[in-house]
Amino acid sequence: MLFFICVMVAISSFSSSFTIPDEEEVEEGKLRTNHLFEELKERYGRSSSTTNRNNRNRNNNLIFYTIGDWGVRGIDGIDGGKNFPGSAQMAVARQMKLLAEHVQPHFIATLGDNFYGSGVADVNDRQWIDKYEQVYLGNNSSIRSTRWFASLGDHDHCGNVQAQIDYHSAKNYLWHLGHGKAPYYHKEFRIGDESSTSDSDNDNISDEMQLIVIDWVGLEGLLAGKEKRRFETQLGEFASAEAGEEQLNWLKRVLERGHGKYRWRVVTAHRPIISASGGFANDNVAYPGESSTREALRVIFENSDVDVYINGHDHTAQHACTQRDDFGGRNKLTHYVTNGIGGYELHHLVQNENRPIETLEAKNTFHGFAMHSVTKDKFDTVFIGHDGKVELKLSFDKTQQQCNRVE
């Protein structure tokens, strides 16, 4: 299948079939309001007209968006699939910008496969303009000054990984993807206003969310061992065993040093650990290296205080949850959110009876993105479709002791 053949998609990307319809920019000015967002505006929207990247909403929530598998604009038959009218990437971007007029994100996190089909060639690759800057930052966009914290996907690894790291310093400071030779990093974000103080019984817990961005394919370089990997003949030094070992040691240090310190710990990455997508089980057989990596990472995250793992790769919207009963004398939940619906053709789901027992929600009927609202005690996720409809709502409570459908 075309999805699995990195080089074939790359040929499509740079052939004469790569077209950017003029009408996309014309339609930009037509969608200035979306009444479907009124409820989100009321619940999460900012309380004043001040617009800057440090603004919080009226409830002192930390707001951020996630988007996965999105860099497809102009690739015929791939951008949205054969039956999607127009560009799915552009449609999703419009809704992101419309929502941001009322619910401004502090940052946007990507979940990999930023540029189909083989990543970027260098920092001057035209895809940076055609698939990123024009789509999300142009035309007086409401997210034109929002920072992007990116992660890498397998298609990105087929190209120049260093260019995605260097774009921040070479071209656009809003784009972040690690530094040096490390496409992984962590960031800390204050929850609430600047003057808020912790009301926790544990004074060592700060009012912060920690974001840990990992390079899944890079870790696979070590965790897969000698087992077969996807695109293995096209992977470079960033996906080697040496790079994987260095990243794994870094990840363990970050998790250990921050243990018990943050209100929420969130990991963003590309591939899923739990999924109800049709290709998930097949991938574990076709690429045993992926299965080994999933198992290893699941053990690491569920034995640490990571609360939420957000991934792309499977072009669906999903929520799964696992429960550990003996974590520090209380139940510990780990939530897995799949969000790979930013533009590429959607994947099918297996029947309910064949889904992992941890799966709570799974949809594959829309392209879109997710808005996340974080308070000291709650982590809300709202999936927004390409037509502006609210498609799925999730809510995780910090005191929650069992996996269930909250909302």
Give me the domains of the chain, ranges plus CATH numbers.
2-397 (3.60.21.10)
- For the stretch 207-265, pLDDT in tens is 999 999 999 999 999 999 989 899 988 899 999 999 999 999 999 999 999 999 999 99
CB atoms within 10 A of CB 201: 6
pTM: 0.90
Cβ atoms of 108 and 65 within 8 Å: the answer is: yes
Residues in CB range of 15: below 8 A, 6 or more apart: none
Average pLDDT taken over every residue of the chain: 87
d(CA 100, CA 64): 10
Is the pLDDT at 103 greater than 80, yes or no? yes
Q: Which uninterrupted H or E stretch holds 160?
A: none
**What pLDDT is stored for residue 187 in this prediction?**
98
Percent of the chain with pLDDT strictly greater than 70: 83
**What pLDDT is stored for residue 79 in this prediction?**
95
Is the pLDDT at 139 greater than 60, yes or no? yes
**What pLDDT is stored for residue 58 in this prediction?**
52
Percent of the chain with pLDDT strictly greater than 90: 73
Residues in CB range of 150: below 8 A, 6 or more apart: 109, 110, 114, 164, 175, 176, 177, 213
**Is omega for the bond preceding 180 within 30 degrees of 0, making it cis?**
no
Is the pLDDT at 322 greater than 70, yes or no? yes
d(CA 81, CA 3): 12
Token pair for 60: 């002192």
pLDDT band for position 405 (cuts 50, 70, 90): low
More confident residue, 28 or 343: 343
- Mean pLDDT of the 71-76 span: 95
- For the stretch 26-73, pLDDT in tens is 344 444 566 779 899 999 987 544 444 444 445 589 999 999 999 999
Is the pLDDT at 154 greater than 70, yes or no? yes
- For the stretch 271-306, pLDDT in tens is 999 999 999 988 988 899 999 999 999 999 999 999
**What pLDDT is stored for residue 400 in this prediction?**
87
**What pLDDT is stored for residue 297 in this prediction?**
98
Closest CA to 162 of 93, 237, 76: 237
Kindly provide the residue ranges of all beta strands, DSSP E only, lying in 136-251, ordered along the sequence.
Answer: 147-149, 175-176, 185-190, 206-213
pLDDT band for position 380 (cuts 50, 70, 90): very high
